[in-house]
Amino acid sequence: MTEKNVTEYLQEHGFEKLHLKAVLFDMDGVLFDSMPTHARAWAETSEHYHLGLTESEAYENEGRTAKSTLNILFQRNEGRDATEEEIKEIYAYKIKVYNTYNAETIPMKGAAEIMKKIRQDGFQIILVTGSGQDTLMARLQKFYPGVFTKDVMVTAKNVNHGKPHPEPYLKGLQLANVHPWEAVVVENAPLGVRSAVNAKIFTIALNTGPMKDEKLLNEGANILFHSMQEFCDEWDRIKKYLQ
Ligand code: MG
């Protein structure tokens, strides 16, 4: 199975071989089981500001910066982008609601274990997230101590264009100093998968949310697992095809 997926990937991009040096991880829905809370916080924020965003739409827009999501909603409702002030106010409200649930501190089962394996195998680990929340560093340090320093992180603050634009993952490649065929991406969101695929990186989708597998596969994911734990358990089998 994995061998065929790798062959298809190489053919699609005209690369000769995969030679793994770095694993690029998305954060929400991958390292933290935070998506249900994000979706709920967005839905409540939408209700407060009459934005017309449903919880399932929040899942579908995962990976976008808050600014991008709000501009889509404002365009739909009022035919214009949101102003900087509106974005600031609404995003602050969303973070406030999110923090009341205090669920951001739930690490994804299997995440610490797979990172330990990847480090033991000698591969770099890079974080590529659309999040810009200031509490990011603290919770990464708490649950994944010593893995994520600022020089291995791409956040909403480091990019001009968020996912689905390829820029975040291209920046991740730059940080690792590797070519696209020397990395894999681990992503749970359709727009994140699209960003990684557009950056020509082999993309491992984790369907950790309520959507259908097809949503992720249709964006070009090269292989799909249904949990971080499954990916972790399969790592020793699949890694030989990636290097
Ligand atoms: Mg995610």
Mean of pLDDT values over 22-47: 93
Say what the pLDDT of residue 132 is: 78
- Confidence check: pLDDT of 192 > 70: yes
From ligand 1's centre to the CA of 122, what distance in Å? 24
From ligand 1's centre to the CA of 31, what distance in Å? 8
- Confidence check: pLDDT of 20 > 80: yes
Say what the pLDDT of residue 104 is: 57
From ligand 1's centre to the CA of 28, what distance in Å? 4
CATH fold for the domain made of 2-34+105-241: Rossmann fold (3.40.50)
Banded model confidence at residue 55, pLDDT cuts 50, 70, 90:
confident
From ligand 1's centre to the CA of 159, what distance in Å? 16
Banded model confidence at residue 183, pLDDT cuts 50, 70, 90:
very high
Tens digit of each residue's pLDDT (9 = 90 or more) over 104-159: 578 999 999 999 999 999 999 999 998 877 777 788 999 999 999 889 999 988 89
From ligand 1's centre to the CA of 48, what distance in Å? 25
Cβ contact 164:139 at 8 Å: no
Rounded CA gap, 126 and 114, in Å? 13
Structurally, at CATH architecture level, domain 35-101 sits in: Orthogonal Bundle (1.10)
Count Cα neighbours of 151 within 13 Å in the Cβ-side half-sphere.
4
From ligand 1's centre to the CA of 165, what distance in Å? 14
From ligand 1's centre to the CA of 186, what distance in Å? 9
Same-fold call for 2-34+105-241 versus 35-101: no
From ligand 1's centre to the CA of 105, what distance in Å? 15
Say what the pLDDT of residue 35 is: 87
- Confidence check: pLDDT of 161 > 80: yes
From ligand 1's centre to the CA of 61, what distance in Å? 10
Query: Does residue 168 have a cis peptide bond before it, meaning omega lies within 30 degrees of 0?
Result: no
Q: For the chain, give the number of residues.
A: 243
From ligand 1's centre to the CA of 51, what distance in Å? 22
Rounded CA gap, 151 and 175, in Å? 7
Tens digit of each residue's pLDDT (9 = 90 or more) over 62-85: 888 889 999 999 999 999 999 999
Say what the pLDDT of residue 103 is: 59
From ligand 1's centre to the CA of 112, what distance in Å? 16
Token representation of residue 149: 């320093």
Say what the pLDDT of residue 139 is: 87
Banded model confidence at residue 42, pLDDT cuts 50, 70, 90:
very high
Domain boundaries, the chain: 2-34+105-241, 35-101
- Confidence check: pLDDT of 223 > 70: yes
What average pLDDT does the structure give for the chain?
93
Say what the pLDDT of residue 2 is: 85
- What's the pTM value of the predicted model, to 2 decimals? 0.90
